[in-house]
Amino acid sequence: MSIVQNAPTNVGAKLPDVPHAKRFTQLFGSLPNLAVFALLVGVLALGHHTGWKLPKASELFGAAPTPAADWCGEHLVPESACVECRDDLLAKPPEFGFCRAHGVAECVTCHPELAQVKGPPQLPSYDTAAAIGVMARPTNNSKNMLYKRRLQFASAETATRAGVDVDVVSQRPMVDFISANGELTFDPTRVAHMSSRAGGTVAAVLKAIGDEVQPGDILALVDAVQVGQAKSQLLQAIVQKRLRRANLDRMQAAGEGIALKAVAEAKAAFEESEVVFISARQTLVNLGLDVPEEFGDSSAQAIAERLRYLGISSELLDKLPTEIRSANLFPVRAPYGGVVVSSESVAGEVVDTTTVLFTIADPRRMWLTLAVRQEDARYVARDLPVSFRADDGSNEITGRISWISPAIDERTRTLQVRVNLENPEGRLKDKTYGAGRIILREQPEAVVVPREAVQATRDATFVFVRDRDYMKPDAPKVFHVRQVRLGAKDGGYVELLAGVLPGEVIATKGAPVLLAQLLRSNLGAGCGCHDH
């Protein structure tokens, strides 16, 4: 590597050509990283000068015991042992270039012979290229050449004093997901706001908030004049129909002694009474009352008694005060099983058909509505699995997306998606807020490393892989620079979809020190993040 020399200034000289200008821009972009490294070196030097137990910067990379004549100032190791200056000490592996499928240089997935493991390398058990395409991932610049560098310590002890620790690339379950805030509500198709079908006065309230109800249970009784009038009209229609039926039968039995015109008129009168009966009966049916189609040979008195408390059982009637018993009583019934979640009904209150008396909800069916950020909307699809945890810390619940809104909410700029949930035990509560995760990919044996092992520059992401012969007494203490592609993240681990293989040893604690040395060495070569 060469070191940039300061050239004398020539006022009349032409501006540098485009490649040199670009090189200067790249060099300027590396200054923040160099500042961090310089600060680290300064702290170590100050500690040594003031008597701290910290090694000096030169000692950190094995400089102290080495004579100045045998010292590589660029790589901070004895020049006689510097693998970057002497290829005969540790031959560089073959170069395969940038892998477009996985987005890394020198891809160990496609070329497992590059892996720093003893014995046959173990490839990932899943299609990592397909996993990369599941969602947007950080990318590597194909022109970034930092991966060609190798970082070397004078000894294993020097690496330890520098604070470098290692871990093995392992496998564990990981999940790619989209986060979205959500709300649990009752299924609106199973929430009924009950009103009386006829205006009147609330005579009795039979259910209260929190009561469980079954389909058809009576919630309240309303004293409605309209109901009494409809019953009276039906009774009159029944009597009129019977009279005209009897008259028609008598004329038809008389035979030729009755004029045909009279028979026809009697028949028309009967049919008219039948229409009136059907209309009167339908009025009560429309109010929700179960009215028989025929009343047989019962007397008018018996029919009147039957209609008087239509829809009210004798058991319930016995429980009612005598003063509220009338033919005007109309029952308000539950349409299906559920729970009374609200009640605005009070005995003696005057109500009409728009007054909501009760709200019945079926808690066995719930909706989870998630608000997905607009930038994540492209990843959402029907049947994707969803997990949700309420803010109260209750157990996680799971389901699948059943509906996706066709439009982005113009106010919140989010996409509404819905999950239908079964709630047989009633654990889920209406109006519960929490955090949801839409699962895009689940991988039981993902290739992972600790998060602290991953380092990045402005255009690439790296880990530092220990050489397979590092532990041999006479072997160079080298870490290889490896481009990686990030996948799922969970706790203290991150999935690497490319760049390493299970069993390789990587730097974890102290990885920022290695990155600082990498940038320093690369700057000493006379360029920024790219080779000439």
Give tens-digit pLDDT for 124-143.
999 999 999 999 999 999 99
Q: What is the pLDDT of residue 53?
A: 45
For every residue of 109-154, DSSP letters joined together read: TT-GGG---SSS----SS-HHHHHTTS------TT--GGG-EEEES
Q: What is the pLDDT of residue 16?
A: 44
Which distant-in-sequence residues (6+ apart) come within 8 Å of 477 by Cβ? 152, 153, 154, 155, 156, 158, 159, 467, 470
Q: Dmax of the chain from CA atoms?
A: 148
Report how far apart, in Å, the C-alpha atoms of 55 and of each of 43, 388, 412, 521 are: 10, 51, 55, 20
List, in sequence order, every residue forming a beta bridge with 104; answer none if it has no partner. Answer: 99
Number of H helices, E strands in the chain: 10, 24
Ranges in the chain, pLDDT < 70:
1-68, 257, 522-532
Chain Cα centroid distance, residue 275: 60
User: Which residue's entry shows tokens 């039926």?
Assistant: 245
Which distant-in-sequence residues (6+ apart) come within 8 Å of 455 by Cβ? 461, 462, 463, 464, 511, 512, 514, 515
Q: What is the pLDDT of residue 276?
A: 93
Name the strand (E) or helix (H) holding 29: helix 18-29
Neighbours of 365 (CB within 10 A): 18
What's the CA gap between 502 and 121, in Å, rounded? 8
List, in sequence order, every residue forming a beta bridge with 213; answer none if it has no partner. Answer: 338
Q: What is the pLDDT of residue 446?
A: 97
List the domains of the chain with CATH numbers: 18-173+445-524 (2.40.420.20), 177-189+363-442 (2.40.30.170), 196-359 (no CATH)
pTM strictly above 0.85: no
**Is the C-alpha dihedral spanning 472, 476, 479, 482 positive or negative?**
negative
Which distant-in-sequence residues (6+ apart) come within 8 Å of 24 by Cβ? 16
C-alpha atoms less than 13 angstroms from C-alpha of 350 in its C-beta half-sphere: 1
pLDDT tens by residue, 64-104 = 554 457 888 778 888 888 888 888 888 888 899 999 999 99
Is the separation of the CB atoms in 443 and 179 below 8 Å? no
